[in-house]
Amino acid sequence: MSGIKVFAPASIGNIGVGFDIMGAAINNPGDEIVVKKGAAPGLTIDKIFGDHGRLSKEVEKNTAGKSALALMKYLGKEEEPISFEIYKKMPFSSGLGSSAASAVAGAFAINEYFKRPLSKPELLPFAMEGEKLASGAFHADNVGPSLLGGILLFEYNSLYYQRLYSPEGLTLVVIHPQIEILTSEARAILKSEISLKSHVEQSANLGLFITGLMKGDFECIGRGLKDIIIEPQRSKLIPFFEDVKKSAIDSGALGCSISGAGPSMFAIAQNTFTAERICNAMVEIFSKNKIQTTSYISPINNEGAILL
């Protein structure tokens, strides 16, 4: 094969009320990898674009390389000459699953190159090898949606998942302020224990959110999308968080919270018209406070990783 290109999309981890167990894929941004026959045995990463020199070309130290190599070993293809060109089109430490997209793209590229010996769901454990390298934790709330698309709910500390229904019209608004929050930093500030009251309230919110999705009940979705555990702790890391969130709700958002570990924020709208209004309102708050942003409006991406 002369070469192929694959794409793995960004994702919203946690979706507020589903810490480490729920995530959703969006259409853009995402990472791309060109895979082709290499000049020497084994996998090599020849070029990386868009990383500003931050990523290693050493396969074992690269998120995409790690997941790709894990799959190659499983397939007995580790000596096949394969070359990667990685196009990093996602911001680092953005809360949009940047490392997960790279990990997914690496495994998906190898599977496509060898004419799909495995199904998409079977690629999950290999993509997780790359994600674990980057995050040091085992949770698939970003990797799963980036690979498989949709809104996914995972069993805790497991790769068992269920795909949740996304109602027609449901639209995601994502605002990425140009600040950087390391996932390790955002995780370090979290309390290790919560009260029984908080557990019960959050459980009810998660149940309402999932029920709202499955029934296509937007009121129920809005009632459930209230994170009372993680958001109050992490929101302090995002400048003007409360003002931005209020602007989203006042503009018609069903709910608004932190995407992954932040600093990106997401809001859920019933349709694209409302989503545009919400997006403009959220961006305006950041802009008035001299913080540049990048915004994305997207339906749920139900495809996940694709061959371009």
DSSP string, 58-116: SGGGSHHHHHHHHHHHHHT-TTS-EEEEEE--S-TTSSS-HHHHHHHHHHHHHHHHTT-
What's the DSSP call for residue 225?
Answer: -
Radius of gyration from C-alpha coordinates of the chain: 19
- Pair of tokens at residue 295: 């915004």
Taking Cα atoms as reference points, which of 306, 308, 273, 307 lies closest to residue 297? 273
Known catalytic residues are 131, 183
CB 80 within 8 A of CB 41: yes
CA-based nearest residue to 258, from 183, 204, 203: 183
Cα 292–Cα 266–Cα 93 angle in degrees, nearest 5 = 60
Is residue 261 helix, strand or coil?
coil
Distance, in Å, from the CA atom of 58 to the CA atom of 136, rounded to the nearest integer, reads 18
